[in-house]
Homo-oligomer: A and B are copies of this chain.
Amino acid sequence: MDTQPLYQRLADYYRRAIQSGALAPAQRMPSVRTMVRTHHVSLTTALQVCRRLEDDGLVEARPRSGYFVRPPAGPRLAPVPDPDIARPIDTAQYEGIHDRVSRFVTLCESEPCSANFALAAAPPASYPHAALRQSMMRALRMHSEQMVGRAPPQGHPQFRALLARRALDCGINAGADELLVTHGCIEALNLALRAVARPGDTIAVESPTYFGLLQIIESLGMRALEIPTSPQRGISIEALELALRTQPGIRAVVVVPNLQNPLGCIMADEDKQRLLRLCHAQQIALIEDDTYGALADDGPGLAIKHWDRHGDVIYCASLHKTLAPAMRLGWTLGGRWHDRMAMFKFAQSRPNEPMAQIAVADYMATKAYDRHLARLRHQLRQQRLYVADAVARHFPAGTRLAQPPGGMLLWLELPEGTPGMTVFEEALRAGIRVAPGAMFSNSARYDHFLRLSCTEPVGAATDAAVRRLGEIVSACGK
């Protein structure tokens, strides 16, 4: 005979569900009303259940959203430590990031994949393709002659106006005519670098950084100088200062201040301003890549461009991660390099085609876009916390993990001496794709790191994949 009070028995019921993974970390708990209906209990009892679970650290209340499962209090990973700023900075003599990335892609495609932690874009189902189709159909019905006319220079006015309005969300107050529409953020970064530097010049970048940026720099015949970057606070402004004093020919610094790739960190507003002051004083361009910013758990943070009074910042962004991976819509605010970037854009690829711009402007003008972003943020948070929890449970001691405040990326430091490339290759053979740390630097500094993208819906299969990955890491580390 059960002598426990009813609320306690119900709390145990949910505790087991959480411990078994049936209710995953960051997942929303059944609502109080659902509990009442399901278990035929009073509202008071249901509320007691929730409070009990909260007291036990199993769930957390979020205002106006209900209760959510917390990551288990069990194993916790130490954060990835800050880099040593005093450590000498290496100018990248190494060339070959293309070969490294090509090898990675070729290897990935050589094996069937059951769990993909390598791709930094959510699966198609996470994006509102039905609504985008409607907007595209409407644009075609109303403006199809735009396919055969002249593409408006600098981008379609309607799209630029909408982007200017949306830029207010990250504190940027710019006119639509200051905006240049590009083929994704990648083209914007190319134009920015071509506008401010020449082949042979040096570009300061975060370390680690997105391999796509290293590829651009290498392809333009420029040199990347990797600046130590904290997984918690972003680029070290002291280290950059030191580099500017000691290294000749630095023309620009490229940073991702909001949800850096691969670290996932967000710079403090104070640091953003310090960085801007330094660049202004040294007369170097500050190229800001804000591809991920809108995916922060708490919504978009302020862009560095927000504080830019002299046109020192070239702001680059795109809809690649947030709205439509394949539509290749990006844009840039070139500051004092605007005209020069527009000239390079014209010489490099001419204006973007207008139909997609009209359609996306139509969609982005609606509340549906805000709802989509909120949904995507929540989904990514849930997936990220789930994977982080699984890593904590299944990876060997000595593994360290950056816990980013948003987005889809996790940056892991493996126990010392564990070769990331071997882990990557072994994991591939087990049907699991990860991005080895070696891809995020021209140096060997991150060879025992991994980047995990948490883009797929989570569940028992995810847990099993992370467990298998943990076994591989353990085996490779011996």
Contacts and interface: CB of A to CB of B under 8 A. Distances in A.
Contact of A147 (B187, B324, B349): B324
A140 B216 CA distance: 32
Interface stretch (A20-28, A125-133, A226-234, A288-296): A125-133
A347 B216 contact: yes
Given A133-B140, A133-B144, A356-B356, 19 more contacts: A121-B150, A129-B145, A132-B147, A136-B136, A136-B140, A136-B355, A137-B137, A148-B326, A148-B327, A150-B326, A151-B328, A183-B352, A186-B350, A190-B348, A216-B348, A218-B347, A326-B354, A327-B355, A355-B356
Nearest to A217: B347
Contact of A327 (B145, B147, B349): B147
B325 A350 contact: no
Interface in A125-171: 126-130, 132-133, 136-137, 140, 144-151
A210 interface: no
Given A129-B148, A147-B327, A350 B184 contact: yes
List 5 A-B pairs, minimum CB-CB distance, nearest first: A127-B148, A133-B144, A219-B347, A183-B349, A151-B326
B216 A149 contact: no
How many copies of the polypeptide does the oligomer hold?
A: 2
Interface of A: 98, 102, 119, 121, 124, 126-130, 132-133, 136-137, 140, 144-151, 183-184, 186-187, 190, 194, 198-199, 212, 215-216, 218-219, 221, 324-328, 343-344, 346-356
B347 A328 contact: no
B133 A349 contact: no
B121 A144 contact: no
A136 B144 contact: yes
Contacts of A148: 124, 126-129, 132, 324-327
Contacts of A215: 346-347
A183 B150 contact: no
A148 B122 CA distance: 9
Contacts of A216: 347-348
Contacts of A190: 347-349
A477 B464 CA distance: 84
Contacts of A102: 343
A127 B215 CA distance: 39
28 contacts: A98-B347, A121-B150, A127-B147, A129-B148, A132-B144, A133-B144, A146-B326, A148-B324, A148-B325, A148-B326, A149-B325, A149-B326, A150-B325, A183-B352, A184-B349, A186-B348, A186-B350, A187-B348, A187-B349, A198-B199, A198-B221, A199-B199, A212-B347, A219-B348, A326-B353, A327-B355, A328-B349, A328-B353
A contact patch SS: helix
Contacts of A347: 98, 186, 190, 212, 215-216, 218-219
A198 B198 CA distance: 12
Nearest to A186: B350
Contacts of A128: 148
Contacts of A354: 326
Contacts of A187: 348-349
Nearest to A156: B326
A160 to B, nearest CB: 16
Nearest to A119: B150
Contact of A328 (B140, B199, B343, B350): B350
A187 to B, nearest CB: 4
Contact of A326 (B147, B218, B346): B147
Contacts of A327: 147-148, 353, 355
Contacts of A198: 199, 221
A324 B355 CA distance: 12
A141 B121 CA distance: 24
A218 to B, nearest CB: 8
A353 B121 CA distance: 15
Nearest to A101: B346
Contacts of A221: 198-199
Contacts of A212: 347
Most buried by B among A187, A194, A350: A350
